Chains A and B, each alone.
Chain A
Amino acid sequence: MIVVLIGQEQNMAQHITFWLSRPGVDLKTYLLESEDSLAGLADFMAALPKVDVVDTCVPDQYKLSLLEQLTDHQPIIMSLPLAASLEEEQQVLHLIDEKALPVIVANPLLAKPEMASLCQSMQNKQLGKTGVNRLSLQTDDIDYSYSLERQLIDWLVQSFGDYQSIYAKQIRDRYKVVQIRHADQSFTQVELAYQFGKEALKVEMTGDAGMLSYDSAQSAPIQLTGRNITSRSLQTSGKTLVYRMYDPIYQALQQRKISCDYTTTVLSYHCMKAIDQAYQQSEPVVKGGAKNA
């Protein structure tokens, strides 16, 4: 299996480790020093025998240009977000559609075992008829806010389905709260709080068959306390995130069962757009523009 890895050197280590650990993989790397380096990609690809999959680990703002360079119809693995902004993602999705590019969208958040498990519980209807779900993300990492939000909304759509109406408020760039009524009439509230000095993700999901909750601050199995009263929680991770994201794709490629269905990505893109619109207006945004039933 020939795998082409395209990316910046500083981001490639875990990808290289993963692909080299998989039996039968012949890894070719294409280093991207700047966006200009994409100019040589077509020649690089043309010189290779049949490529089985293209793995990308490039900055979000390069992804559109990268896809423009790829003309053959080999599967392309790309992580969310697909671009650096919603406007740019619209162009990316249009390009994928127009060129019929077989893109495999990987959501890093969905690869985290705690979030994968919650999503699976919802998809398996473990809680029965869903009631009210609550997500709260508190972080100081405001530089990655778009990336975090894009992944979170994708996870949400994968877990609870599409939206029917959205009401939201934003207070500068520090606080956002979104109340979603889903197509199945269940509720989800998403809270995004930046730079309040706390790192935590809390999820609570309820249904008529029970309730599931997760709090990242309460799930660290190890607490290290020094004599000077410093304390830190140690979260053990086990398999790497790259392994968790990529191994299912590798297995599917091996069994020739790869799926390039990005329907959910499109749904979650539209959900992001609706949230963005809801911040700008004082009325709820309703799917299709009508009053929700």
Chain B
Amino acid sequence: MLKIGIISFAHMHALSYASALTKSSQAELTAIWDDVSTRGHEMAAAYQANYYQDLEEMLATDLDAVIICSENIHHKEHVIKAAAYQKHILCEKPLATEVKDAEVMIAACEAQNVRLQVAYPVRFTSAIQQVKELIDAAELGNVLAINATNHGLLPGGWFIQPELSGGGCATDHIVHIVDALRWIFNQEVVKVYAAFDTRFYDIEVEDCGQVMIEFDSGMVVTIDPSWSRPKTFPTWGDVTMSIYGEEGMLEVDAFKQHHLFYNDQKNKLEEQVWADDMDEALVEDFLQCVANNREPFITGTDGLRTLEVVKAAYRSNQERKPITIETIRGGHSQ
């Protein structure tokens, strides 16, 4: 039985991963560290795990792996520390807030022979996996363009504090679509144009915008990453894609498999998803990767490549012109 620790419950996905661990037959959640001790104690009690106030003390135990769900800005420190103690790592996205940090984190894991997986659960939804099969089978022929969205409600909390999140909706939402498309099409992004603004809320980070990217085949992809869903929206947001190919089109709504709940208690319509849980599939894959000592399905390099796109988007917004990924990798201005 693999012993897993969770580093911080700052990100709400930690709850989902912890729940997935309780359902797993090959692992158990044995340790929790959190810099907010009340939250740490509460979670340790809820999941019958040990709470550690000292992260290094936890990492010094016989844990096989850790799941990092701290604020984005702390991912670098926590990944490097966990790697130093030779713990395999599932890191919440984004891998880091700066490209050079992500590179250092990947190198640290490689040096310690530690597996590093990045949490991009969208790849694990049955709809996206089926899309991959259809594309691989060339059902659409050559794909020309994709119109994608990853909308959301305002997450609040540290997500809107730039010193902890590293950015707003662009940091939070561009990566899921880019990762899924890189995987589906086995292509890389070459150019990014983006514009962002803060129009919905009085916050310090961007809450909306639009992005247009070009892949190396010439495929044009637009992404709307906005936290634009109103408070009354029936769910947290969406992941949708309209994929246009020479031979036809695919319209994908990754979370379409839901019941509608007309909730009189909350005076709100709600979507109750009945599809298989993507977070469970993500955690299960990570556990198999650790157990079988194989390369993760989603590697640190995947995390780095998506981060490069996010940074290109921010620079494009700043300079008001398209930015090539080469520029971001080279670290110099266009």
Contacts and interface: CB of A to CB of B under 8 A. Distances in A.
B228 A175 contact: no
A131 B208 contact: yes
B23 interface: no
Interface in B221-249: 222, 224, 226, 228-230, 232-233, 242, 244, 248-249
B212 A169 contact: yes
B305 to A, nearest CB: 22
A189 B200 contact: no
A289 to B, nearest CB: 13
Interface stretch (B86-94, B130-138, B191-199): B191-199
Interface stretch (A64-72, A142-150, A190-198, A262-270): A190-198
A174 B144 contact: yes
A211 B200 CA distance: 11
A193 B212 contact: no
A185 B199 contact: yes
Contacts of B147: 136, 177, 189, 191
Contact of A131 (B144, B226, B249, B321): B226
Interface residues of chain A: helix, strand, loop or mixed (majority): strand
A46 to B, nearest CB: 54
A286 B195 CA distance: 13
A132 interface: yes
Interface residues of chain B: helix, strand, loop or mixed (majority): strand
A291 interface: yes
Contacts of A167: 193, 195, 212, 322
A222 interface: no
A206 B214 CA distance: 26
A283 B322 CA distance: 7
Contact of B321 (A193, A210, A283): A283
A207 B231 CA distance: 12
B209 interface: yes
Given A171-B220, A177-B145, A189-B222, A131 B199 contact: yes
A187 B322 contact: no
A37 interface: no
A130 B199 CA distance: 7
B219 to A, nearest CB: 9
B242 A136 contact: yes
A292 interface: yes
B16 interface: no
A191 B249 contact: no
Given A169-B145, A175-B144, 5 more contacts: A130-B199, A136-B147, A169-B214, A185-B197, A187-B209
